[in-house]
Every structure is written in structure tokens, then in C-alpha cells.
Chains A and B, each alone.
Chain A
């Protein structure tokens, strides 16, 4: 399978109030054509930062300290992390070859332009289409997103759309130039489950039609089971576990993944299930524990965990950052 994006040992720091927050500390993964990779983790674990660093959309006080983001094109490899975030190279990729869907369409879309204009913007910058063709294409995109009466809707503003329709309009915008990579940052968190189901259907269709690679960021294990092919589990800026979805969900090798799975209620198991909460709470990023970040909350913690864990191979494409992964697997 063709790898389209490689992220290797990525470190990102934020510098605010004379303090340094290591938001991402060594995340590596590979995104493949026609597959969906899920970044899972709790709020503040660095999953959105990782995603926006690929688009080079990091906020001003942050910096990629170390590591590589490589975009594999037909013309050769592009080292995204070395590009000027405001330069012409990244701008020609952004929106055309790598597109992003944000969590909240109300803040991500511009309220003073029509939806049609915002879709056409992508064509203006990335293609040499005639104005009439652009208009037609915008209507077509809205229709493919199953928005009713697209000819009329294309000239409307975002406040005239419902929540689900806004999100679909944003997907239409992202898909305008048939991107190779679609980054979706919690695309359905603000939506109701029935609307979420509609959006997932659309994303599946798009992936099948265009063979796009999707990087999906979520905190919902249900979404992971439904959509993902591969999963990266993040905790406090570390990618603690990385592997195919079946293995992660059935044979988690990291104590955090396994504890997380045991702490969520599963539908259809009624009250017979027993939730086992993870004790304590996520540590303060400015006052991190020594060694393994999960150590203070972990049942398997020993002296050894005071050292940063190495990456171990569980199987061919399943890796884990834990000293005691064999014990975790045996305990499951």
C-alpha cells in the first residue's frame, strides 16, 4: 500500500508566559492511500496540534523542534516541516492536496461570504477554471454532499444552514480540489448522532471514490471502531500505541489504551457491565511526571517506569511505548 504522508519523531513546543509546554513529544505514523488513520486521545493530549502541524497551521508561539513531516508525491518527496508556513509551496498544497475539516463550522467558516464563494475560493487559488465553471462545480459539490436545493443554497450564508449542513458545506469546501489527504479534526463532535451517521456515510463514499487518505482526530472510541483502519493512541503528547484497529481494540498493549477501553460504557451491554475508571487525572503539562507519563495512574507501574519507555514491536505493524507491554497483553 502506498504511503502518502510520513510523520517521524515529531516534537512541538509551545512557548507562553515564559514557560515551555511540550505539546507533542515524539509522534510517528504513516498515512496510507485509501485508508483512515485515527488519532485518539483526551483533550490536551496533542492530537489537534499534530494535525495542524501537517498543514503548517501552528499558532505563532509554537515551533516544530524536531522530527520530520514528509509528503510523498508522484514528483518526489516534499519535506513539509522545512517549508515557510506562509510561503508559496505550502500554500499551493494547502487546500489543494491536503485539506482540513475543523470541529466547529461556525467559527471555521466566514459569516460574511456566501457558502458558494467560500467553495469557489479553492478553485480561484488552485485552478485556472472559468468563473461559470466554478459556479457550476460549487453547486455540484453541494449536491454530492446531499444538500437539498443546492442551486439556491449555494448563494446563502452560513447562518442560514443547520449544524449538519454547515459541516457538510465545510466537507464540500475541503473536497473541492480532490485532495490526496483529508484531515478531519473532530468533525462530528458538535453534531447529533443521527447527523454524525450522515457525515460518516459521506466520508466513506469520498474515500472510496477518490482513494483519499483520511486522518481523523477523535476522542470517541466508537467512532474509531466504525471508521478507522489504523489507530494512534496519544497521551500527554506521546503516541503511546500505534497499530491496526482490530489489534488496538481487542488486544491493547498499552495500559492506557486498555484502561480507556474498560472505562467507556458499551451500548447494548446494559447495566451488567462494570466501568473501571482510570484513577486520578491527567497531569499538568508544566509539571510532568518523570519517565512514563501514565505512570502515576498506571496499575503496572514499577521503578523502571521512571525512565522514558522505549518503543517495542508487538507485531509487524503494531508498536507500543511501554516497558510492561507483555504483562499488559498477558493480563487482558
Chain B
């Protein structure tokens, strides 16, 4: 199914570590492994959902792709109209040019817009930078953008505090769209919104995707929202991807014990669907000092001896002719045909 699809972004063994410093001399005593050996392909035109609990590294992965956080290692190969380049190796000037294609919508619409600038002031900077000299033209473009996100043109002369949360989030989306990007990373883009507004923004994102042929990486902790938006979903735990599959497959047949627990923990707004919840014991371990072997083994109901020593690799399983990537020794033991991802 994916064979004909074009890979837009190829991530290989991405690592983003943050140093932990201690004492007077700020000696580095360890690293927070926020993103730890993540390999992933993003296809053109798809929506890739990224889910996991707080602190699992999903936001850091998103920011690492944009080089907003400098990754420690790995490759981020982006397909510039057929020409593949590693984003990590670009010069600042080249990266600046690349940002035309890669954009982000942040979680908190209150802090991601400058309160001292009007909307026009905030949105015109990138246009200026990329060569639209006449103010009239910029006004025209920003007006069109605001209309594209269902806001009125006149709103460009207002300040952020004059808008509601949902409207501000739409301005954030308009800003991301302003340079005609290919890939937009939506980092918890609807989490701060009330439910009735959330649906408006979700539908807007879907519409824009169709219209502008966008690719999304949709980061959220809310699985029902991710399911509604995504073609494929990657589940992260402690800096690693533990499962990656088509959205339908993941929800119908989650294979990693963590994904199973995560799915069962979500309350569903339907009467009589009180399923057997798998309640996990304990907490997420610290990413500074992750447990050896599989990071999930201290909480895993099926943990075996092997899980305590050997790190499971993300392997491709073919189930009913469809790809399903899982990093678990248990599924490896069960499956007949496995193949290491990349």
C-alpha cells in the first residue's frame, strides 16, 4: 500500500539527549534520553499520529525534526523535491529556507502569539523575510489566510487578547500556512481547547490538508483525537517508538502491552462500553535512568526474563498483508515472519 508512496521525511536513529547538570561546576552527571533511537518514515500526504503519555518525548521528537531542539544524533533526511538532504547538516541559512516547508502549530495559543503585535504584525514577518516587499501585498495574503481559517479579514488589525482560544489557535494555523508548507507538525494543537471548539479546529485541519496537499505529524496525548485525524499512528514510551501501525490496525489489534493498556485506559463516551481496563501498576520510570532491557518491563504484565536484559527492536510484522511495527519480545516470539525495520 505504501510502496507507491513517496517518503517525505526519513528519520533514522534519531537521538535527542539533554544533559543533567549537578553541583557548583555544573558537571554533566547524566542524560535525559528524551528521544532515543527513533526511526520513522513519513509519507507525503499522510497524517502520522504520535501518541504517548507526558514526558515520553513526543514533543521533543517534533521539535527535533524542525531543529528547534538540536538533536544529539541520527539522521533527519528530508525530501526537497526529489533531492534528499539531512536537516541536521544544513547551514543556518539553508535551514531558514527549509523552514518554508516545515511548520509547526503549538499547543498553547495564549503564549505562542506575541501580545504586543497585531495579528498582521505577527504574520507579516515570515512574508517579509521571504521576499514579499509591498505592504499591500502582505495585507492581501494575510487577509486570504485568515479567511482560509474561517476568520474575518478585518481581524488582522486586532491584538491576540481580543480573540478566544479557538480563534487564536486558528491564527496559529494561519501563521503555519503562510509560506505554503509541505509538512506541518501539530503539537497538541487542540489540547487547550474546549470540546465544542476542538471539533471546529480538527475539521479545519482536515479541510486544509485536502486543499493544500499537506502532510501532518499530529502529536497528542488524546488517542480519540489522534484516531480521528491520523492514517498511521506511532505510540511512544520513554523516548522510543513501541508500536507503529495503520490507525485501524492499532485500534483493532494493538500488539504492544503498553499500547493495549493505553487504549483500555481511555474512557469512552458510550454507555455500556465499560471494557476490561488494564490498570498499570506504578509510574513511568525516569528517562535519566531508564530500566535495562525493555523500558516497559517493570510495569508489563507479560514481562519475561529476556525483557529485563535485551532491548527489543522495532520490527515489522506483516499481519493480513499489512505492516505493523512492534518493539516487543513477546510479539517477536509469537510471530513467524519478522523483519527488522530499516
How far is it, in angstroms, between the C-alpha of A250 and the C-alpha of B269 when the chains are bound?
10
Q: State which residues 251-277 of B face A: CB under 8 Å.
A: 251, 261-271, 273-274, 277
Contact B194 A42 (CB under 8 A): yes
Asked whether, in the complex, the Cβ of A194 is within 8 Å of the Cβ of B202, the reply is no
Q: A261-B269, A264-B269 are in contact. Are A219 and B195 (CB under 8 A)?
A: yes
Question: Is A266's CB under 8 angstroms from B262's CB?
Answer: no
Query: In whole angstroms, how far apart are the Cα atoms of A139 and B206 in the complex?
Result: 52
Q: How far is the CA of A73 from the CA of B155 in the complex (A)?
A: 56
Across the two chains, which residue of chain A brings its CB closest to B195? A264
Indicate if the CB atoms of B274 and A226 lie closer than 8 Å. Answer: yes
| Contact residues, B189-205 vs A (CB, 8 A) | 194-200, 202-203
| Number of chain A residues close to chain B: CB under 8 A | 48
Q: In the complex, which residues of chain A have a beta carbon less than 8 angstroms from the beta carbon of B284? A: 192
A302 at interface (Cβ–Cβ under 8 A)? Answer: no
Q: How far apart are B283's CB and chain A's nearest CB, in angstroms?
A: 5
- With a cutoff of 8 Å between Cβ atoms, the chain A residues found around residue B279 in the complex are 194, 197-198, 201
Contacts of B273 in A (CB 8 A): 225
Main secondary structure of the interface of B (DSSP, over half): helix
Number of interface residues of B (CB under 8 A): 42
* Bound CA span A224–B197, Å: 19
Pick from A165, A250, A266: contact of B268, CB below 8 A. A266
Among B195, B262, B265, chain A packs the most CB atoms within 10 A around the CB of B195
B79 CB, nearest partner CB in chain A, Å: 25
Q: How far apart sit A277 and B273, CA to CA, in the bound complex (Å)?
A: 24
Q: Decide if A263 touches B268 in the complex (CB within 8 Å).
A: no
Kindly state whether residue B166 has any CB partner on chain A within 8 Å.
Answer: yes
Q: A264 and B199: CB pair below 8 A?
A: yes
Q: Which of A249-303 contact B (CB under 8 A)?
A: 249-250, 259-261, 263-271, 273, 275-279, 281-282
Bound state CA distance, A205 and B42, in angstroms? 44
- In the complex, whether B53 has a CB less than 8 A from a CB of chain A is yes
Smallest CB-CB separation from B230: which chain A residue?
Answer: A271
Query: Is there an interface contact between B228 and A265, defined as CB atoms closer than 8 Å?
Result: yes
B224: chain A residues within 8 A (beta carbon): 222, 264-267
Per the 8 Å Cβ criterion, residues 214-266 of A in contact with B are 219-227, 245-246, 249-250, 259-261, 263-266
Assess the B203–A275 pair: CB atoms within 8 A.
yes
In contact, A265 and B227 (Cβ under 8 angstroms): yes
CB distance B197 to A270 under 8 Å? Answer: no
Decide if A275 touches B271 in the complex (CB within 8 Å).
no
Select A224's contact among B164, B202, B269, beta carbons within 8 Å: B269
Given contacts A225-B273, A249-B270, A270-B227, contact A263 B283 (CB under 8 A): no
11 A–B contacts from the bound complex (CB under 8 Å): A193-B223, A194-B53, A197-B280, A225-B273, A260-B196, A263-B195, A265-B202, A265-B225, A266-B268, A267-B266, A273-B228
Interface residues, chain A, CB within 8 Å of chain B?
42-43, 148, 162, 164-165, 192-198, 200-201, 219-227, 245-246, 249-250, 259-261, 263-271, 273, 275-279, 281-282
